[in-house]
Amino acid sequence: MTTKKAEESPDTCPAQALLKMLSGKWKPEIFRLALAAPLRFSSLLRQIEGANKQSLSSALKELEEQGLLDKITIQQKPLHIEYRLTEKGKLLIPVFQQLEGLSAIKAA
Amino acid sequence: MTTKKAEESPDTCPAQALLKMLSGKWKPEIFRLALAAPLRFSSLLRQIEGANKQSLSSALKELEEQGLLDKITIQQKPLHIEYRLTEKGKLLIPVFQQLEGLSAIKAA
DNA sequence: TTTAGTAGTCATGTTTTTTTGACTTATTGT
DNA sequence: ACAATAAGTCAAAAAAACATGACTACTAAA
C-alpha cells in the first residue's frame, strides 16, 4: 500500500501528534539521523540496517508531508538530493534532548 | 494475535524507546488520560470514541508490561480496578508538558 | 558497451495490528 | 428471575504496515 491513511481522528494533544508523526518502523531512526546531519537516500539505505528502499522512501515522504523534513534537490551532476530538518522539525530538538536525559525510559 | 513481538532491534535512543512504548492506535490517548487521573476500563471505553474492548485491553496490558501503568485491584464489591501511572510513567510528565508548549506540532 | 551509482517507483505478497462479535464470571438492581 | 454493569477473553476477519524483486531514468567511469 502506498501510504494510504484513513479517517484521521483529531489529535487531542501534541504528544499524540508527535507520536503519530514519528510512528512507523523507520521514522524515529531517520529523524534521529536527520537531527545530526542532512540525509541522503543512498547513505540512509546503507546506514539503516535492514531497511529497504520502499520503506525509506515512503517514510521520507511522510516526514516531508508532516513538515518535519525538507527535500532539497541540488541541481548538479550527478543528482544530489538532501533531506534536512525544517524549522518545525527543529522544534523537536529540545524534546529529544530531554528524552536523552531519561535513561529509565530505555528499559523494555 | 495476542501481542506477539518479533525480533526487537535494540533502541538507538530513548526517543525511539518512548515511541515504541507508546506506539499503537490507542496507547497515546490512554496514557494521556492516565496522566490526569487513574483509569477504569469501562470509563475508558466510554471516553475513547471508536475504541473497542479488545484493543483497550491489550493496550493496557502492554502499558503495564512496559512498566508505565500499574493495575490496581481494589477488593470490594462491586469489583473495582484502576490503572495508575507508575514512577517510571511519571518520568514522562515533563516530556508531555514540554510538548504541550509546542503548539506548532499540532498541525498534521 | 557494460557496469556502477544516485534516486527512486510499481505491483505483489507477507506480516502485524486492529476490529468484530460471541462468550465469561461476578455483582447489583427491578 | 431477568437485565445491567464491570471487566474482561477468544477466535476469526479485516485493515494497515512492511518487505521483495523487478524496473525506470540519468550520469559517469572502465
Q: What domains are there in chain B, each with its CATH number?
A: 22-99 (1.10.10.10)
Please judge whether A13 and B99 are an interchain contact, meaning their C-beta atoms are less than 8 angstroms apart.
yes
Whether residue A94 lies within 8 A of chain B, CB to CB, comes out as yes
Query: pLDDT tens-digit profile of A64-102?
Result: 999 999 999 998 888 999 999 999 999 999 999 999 888
pLDDT the model gives residue B16: 85
Which cell numbers in the block locate residue A105? 525510559
The HSE-up count of residue A8 (CA atoms within 13 Å, CB side) is 11
Please judge whether B13 and A32 are an interchain contact, meaning their C-beta atoms are less than 8 angstroms apart.
yes
A73 touches strand D (CB under 7 A): no
Alpha helices in chain B (DSSP H): 14-21, 27-36, 41-47, 53-65, 87-90, 93-101
3-class SS string, B54-84: HHHHHHHHHHHHCCCEEEEEECCCCCEEEEE
Please judge whether B14 and A94 are an interchain contact, meaning their C-beta atoms are less than 8 angstroms apart.
no
Q: Which residues contact A93 (CB under 8 A, 6 or more apart)?
A: A35
pLDDT the model gives residue B6: 39
Whether residue A73 lies within 8 A of chain B, CB to CB, comes out as no
Global confidence as pTM: 0.89
Question: Nearest nucleotide, C1' to the C-alpha of A53?
Answer: C8
Q: Nearest Cβ partner of A32 from B16, B22, B88?
A: B16
Which cell numbers in the block locate residue B55? 484493543
Q: For B26-57, b where at least 16 C-beta lie within 10 A, e where not — what string?
A: bbbbbbbbbeeeebeeeebeeebeebeeebbe
Cβ atoms of residues B67 and B75 within 8 Å: no
Q: In a mutagenesis test of the B interface, which of A7, A13, A48 is the best target, namely the one with the most B β-carbons within 10 Å? A: A13
Looking at strand D, which nucleotides approach a protein CB closer than 7 A? Answer: 5-13, 15-22, 26-28
Query: pLDDT tens-digit profile of B7-40?
Result: 445 677 778 889 999 999 999 999 999 999 999 9
3-class SS string, A10-54: CCCCHHHHHHHHCCCCCHHHHHHHHHHCCECHHHHHHHCCCCCHH
Please judge whether A23 and B23 are an interchain contact, meaning their C-beta atoms are less than 8 angstroms apart.
yes
Query: pLDDT tens-digit profile of B35-80?
Result: 999 999 999 999 999 999 999 999 999 999 999 999 999 988 889 9
Residues of chain A with C-beta less than 8 angstroms from the C-beta of B91? 102, 104-105
CA of residue A51 to C1' of nucleotide D21, angstroms:
15
